Amino acid sequence: MTTFNTVNEQHVKRFIDILGEANVYVDDENRARYAHDETEDLHFLPEVVLKPSTTADLSVIMQYCNEQVLPVTPRGGGTGLSGGALAQFGGVLISMERFKNIIHIDERNLQVTVEPGVITEELQNAVKEKGLFYPPDPSSRGSCFIGGNIAENSGGPKAVKYGVVKDYVLNLEVVLPNGNVIWTGANVLKNASGYNLTQLIVGSEGTLGIVTKIVLKLLPLPKHDLLMLVPFNSAEKACEAVSAIFRAGYTPSAMEFMERDALEWVLRFVDSSLVKVEDGVQAHLLIEVDGNHVDVLMQEMEAIAEVVLQYEAGEILFADSYQQKEELWKLRRRVAEAVKSNSVYKEEDTVVPRAELPALLKGVKEIGKKYGFHSVCYGHAGDGNLHVNIIKGDLSDELWNGTLKDGIREIFTLVKKLGGTISGEHGIGLVQKEFMSIVFDAQQMELMKLIKQAFDPNNILNRGKIFDC
Amino acid sequence: MTTFNTVNEQHVKRFIDILGEANVYVDDENRARYAHDETEDLHFLPEVVLKPSTTADLSVIMQYCNEQVLPVTPRGGGTGLSGGALAQFGGVLISMERFKNIIHIDERNLQVTVEPGVITEELQNAVKEKGLFYPPDPSSRGSCFIGGNIAENSGGPKAVKYGVVKDYVLNLEVVLPNGNVIWTGANVLKNASGYNLTQLIVGSEGTLGIVTKIVLKLLPLPKHDLLMLVPFNSAEKACEAVSAIFRAGYTPSAMEFMERDALEWVLRFVDSSLVKVEDGVQAHLLIEVDGNHVDVLMQEMEAIAEVVLQYEAGEILFADSYQQKEELWKLRRRVAEAVKSNSVYKEEDTVVPRAELPALLKGVKEIGKKYGFHSVCYGHAGDGNLHVNIIKGDLSDELWNGTLKDGIREIFTLVKKLGGTISGEHGIGLVQKEFMSIVFDAQQMELMKLIKQAFDPNNILNRGKIFDC
């Protein structure tokens, strides 16, 4: 195993030569700002924080860190939920915050070339102004970076109709651990030329290279959308309704599930005149359809409403204005924050084939009873992607830091049994890697480690994320 | 570099032990049937042909071939256009023709699990009976195998709206060169758990492992489609119309381009009462829209017709019956065959960003003039994927086998300059690998070779395809 060096004065001097003093942080206060992300309560202080703004500078830095065997951790917006952007081994943290140019919106080809430090929502708004659409929209879209979305293969509500980040990435400029710069593919919709390096980088959590330019496919912006909130007296029935809608031939542009607690907690956090959680209601589905023809969308909504009524849905709330839609979406988007502010918690990003969702939810609750923990579940039901938030509440530290792990392990074992896996959109990072062996055997892990070694023989780049090697 | 062994009697005896005599061919006649595909006039005789039908048997065979250092070439339907399934080094050819089960059509989850030897069209028809849709449809769909489609990341006309094979593959069972069997992912729509081994296998042309089971995502079958054939007096104007249609906000389910010669030649080959190539017409677009609402599709067709008229389109032929649609599609699907029967030819599978298509076509013709060759161009214009068929006709063998290469090199250099690459859907295989250096530099090639080495350290599996190593 490679032994890392620690960052010394000479290293810092070299970094300042390359980037200027303003872009090299060694003081405690500044470094501390880069020591955490949105994952639980993890804290790792980098020895130095660098803020390059060009591929050329980053290339020189990487080459130097590789020669000096310094651990390097790339970081986007710091909104990650698996600890992928944390400097576990100290060393050099590279913040991509200055790579913030939208280089070119190519209206002729429905593509955009963008730097990784652009905030996802800003990118979405910029292309929207041209009548174009970049669908992946994680809840953190107002603060996450598009580069971080690439690293984690992010999803969000619209994935159910439009797919996840990987479905939009055509080509990436990447600085490799040795400092070399490559493009992974070409700016084309079809490619059968060599191994798919693009898709290998997407979701690799910053362990294979640092992305410096991104070419994304765009779609024409749908002209209309309609939204409804559907209450159910049984959470399992709500989950059953989800796959029934698809089986009936409809593909909503969003299909979000919220357990009673999720919506109740967020209502304590966000004012809403629109929504009230009725007695007996155990879960809600938030269902959106989009397209270019309002009359068609109205028909679809009615047909979907008929389907959900067969699953004992209560009174449906149709959003009848832009404001109402915004309010419903705000409630959904802020669930994570509400849960977080309510209690210490651990979030598991389970994903199963869509129709297995009722079995997953039932299993999670049974496992909770067995181990004595309460969970709040919500997520992208149309994708079978259920965020299981395990609430500390008044659980003992002993249970929280001890036997709870066995409960989580049981949840993931169930997920695997149902044909699913341990992360749908948050990544493995630091916090899930101990569970990798549930879904991957020795041969699969060996292949991943050999790929890592091919890209990063000195193992300097985001080491210890996804797996130990 | 590993030295291969040749197949001896003892090897054959072992293969017969595993598979039975009926599934091991050593005679000339049978071996000759596996010595070619649809690529030009290449011919490589395998030393032995094996026809396993189970993952377990294939695993034992691979482990044995690896120990014995025998070259192994996997083969699907033999319809490939880049020589990927040819036994360049003799050795063991593994025909996947007995892996022909559609294991499970999962209507609850809109997924299908299928073996690689299933013919693509049979798979499409089987899911269609359940109201489901598997869109990728290469022209050879009546004879190609779904496994071969995975190997080459195939496309076809519907890719323009629905994407290519890679967009439908959720999970793969793969026998590795060492005989170990892995699944590459999970049966889920979103996955952020480790490196994307699934997408690494898709398009890897049988060089990393042999796929034995495939889990594909399905869609609800669209209820209706409409089709029209649009003539243009200028091929470049036809190409310009293509991106104008997308810019106007429409996404046809097919958008095929045919140069005058392509349609004329196929009309000599296929009887058609419907289509006549008028004087002065230089190219046609075949445009399809699909969806669930006929009235919406009619509106779209009218709007698209208005767009193409701005590019000097001639009189549009709307197919007004199922039979007429079938006839138009038959003409398009059989262009390749018609070109092949007309002359010896070389087919280049160029792909560029959609709006660069006019520049590509113009460039190809200029390069043709410079080197003295005639080309017939057609393909999936909506994806920027242009099949350039260079016709031997009465060209001298000297030009054909000599300086023509420089012309092809110029075409690919132009493709690269336009942001494209050298294969959109046919793969690199044997015939394009000499051009890889136009689009990949030493670092990119090095990464691909290291990945190959990670999967196949003895370099026994489909060696010499994509690159030399």
pLDDT, position B451: 98
Is the Cβ of A259 closer than 8 Å to some Cβ of chain B? Answer: no
- B-interface mutation test, from A104, A152, A160, A193, most B Cβ less than 10 A away: A193
Cβ A259 vs Cβ A339: under 8 Å: no
- Fold (CATH) for B343-443: Alpha-Beta Plaits (3.30.70)
pLDDT, position B203: 98
pLDDT, position A450: 98
Which percentage of chain B shows pLDDT scores above 90? 93
Neighboring chain A residues of B108 at a CB cutoff of 8 Å: 243, 247, 353-355
Is the Cβ of B59 closer than 8 Å to some Cβ of chain A? Answer: no
Q: What is the pLDDT along chain A (469 residues), one digit of tens a residue?
A: 678 999 999 999 999 999 999 999 999 999 999 999 998 789 999 999 999 999 999 999 999 999 999 999 999 999 999 999 999 999 999 999 999 999 999 999 999 999 999 999 999 999 999 999 999 999 999 999 999 999 999 999 999 999 999 999 999 999 999 999 999 999 999 999 999 999 999 999 999 999 999 999 999 999 999 999 999 999 999 999 999 999 999 999 999 999 999 999 999 988 888 998 989 999 999 999 999 999 999 999 999 999 999 999 999 999 999 999 999 999 999 998 898 888 889 999 999 999 999 999 999 999 999 999 999 999 999 999 999 999 998 999 999 999 999 999 999 999 999 999 999 999 999 999 999 999 999 999 999 999 999 999 999 999 999 999 8
Buried b (16+ CB within 10 A) or exposed e, A116-132: bbbbbbbbbebbeeeeb
- Domain B9-98, classified CATH 3.30.43.10, yes or no: yes
Residue B1 has pLDDT above 70, yes or no: no
Please check whether the two domains, A224-336 and A343-443, share a CATH topology.
Answer: yes
Task: List the structure tokens of B207.
Answer: 């060089």
pLDDT, position A40: 78
For chain B, the structural domain boundaries read 9-98, 102-220, 224-336, 343-443
- A-interface mutation test, from B168, B169, B191, most A Cβ less than 10 A away: B191
Is the Cβ of A250 closer than 8 Å to some Cβ of chain B? Answer: yes
Is the Cβ of A450 closer than 8 Å to some Cβ of chain B? Answer: yes
Q: Which of B72, B81, B113 is nearest to B206 (CA)?
A: B72
Per-residue pLDDT tens digits for B31-84: 999 999 998 789 999 999 999 999 999 999 999 999 999 999 999 999 999 999
pLDDT, position B143: 96
Closest Cα in chain A to B240:
A108
Residue B384 has pLDDT above 80, yes or no: yes
Is the Cβ of B450 closer than 8 Å to some Cβ of chain A? Answer: yes
Neighboring chain B residues of A424 at a CB cutoff of 8 Å: 188, 190-192
Neighboring chain B residues of A112 at a CB cutoff of 8 Å: none
Residue B273 has pLDDT above 90, yes or no: no
Per-residue pLDDT tens digits for B432-444: 999 999 999 999 9
Neighboring chain A residues of B186 at a CB cutoff of 8 Å: 351, 416, 419-421, 439
Per-residue pLDDT tens digits for B150-163: 999 999 999 999 99
Is the Cβ of A427 closer than 8 Å to some Cβ of chain B? Answer: yes
Neighboring chain A residues of B247 at a CB cutoff of 8 Å: 107-108, 110
Which percentage of chain B shows pLDDT scores above 70? 100
Residue B343 has pLDDT above 90, yes or no: no
Q: What's the rounded mean pLDDT across residues B186-191? A: 96
- Fold (CATH) for B102-220: 3.30.465
Residue B383 has pLDDT above 70, yes or no: yes
Q: Where are the alpha helices (DSSP H) in A39-129?
A: 55-68, 120-128
Q: Which of A170, A172, A292, A196 is nearest to B383 (CA)?
A: A170
Distances (CA, A) of B109 to A384, B112, B113: 10, 9, 11
Asked casually if ipTM beats, i.e. exceeds, 0.85, the reply is yes
Distances (CA, A) of A314 to A229, A233, A308, B250: 10, 7, 9, 37
Per-residue pLDDT tens digits for B80-124: 999 999 999 999 999 999 999 999 999 999 999 999 999 999 999
Restricting to A residues 343-372, those with a Cβ less than 8 Å away from any Cβ of B are 349, 351-356
CATH of domain B224-336: 3.30.70.2190
**d(Cα A61, Cα A341) in Å, to the nearest integer?**
39
Cβ B343 vs Cβ A186: under 8 Å: no
Neighboring chain A residues of B443 at a CB cutoff of 8 Å: 176, 180, 182
Q: What are phi and psi of A199, to 5 degrees?
A: -70, -20
- A-interface mutation test, from B195, B348, B422, most A Cβ less than 10 A away: B195
Q: What's the rounded mean pLDDT across residues B405-426? A: 97
Restricting to B residues 173-192, those with a Cβ less than 8 Å away from any Cβ of A are 176, 180, 182-183, 185-192
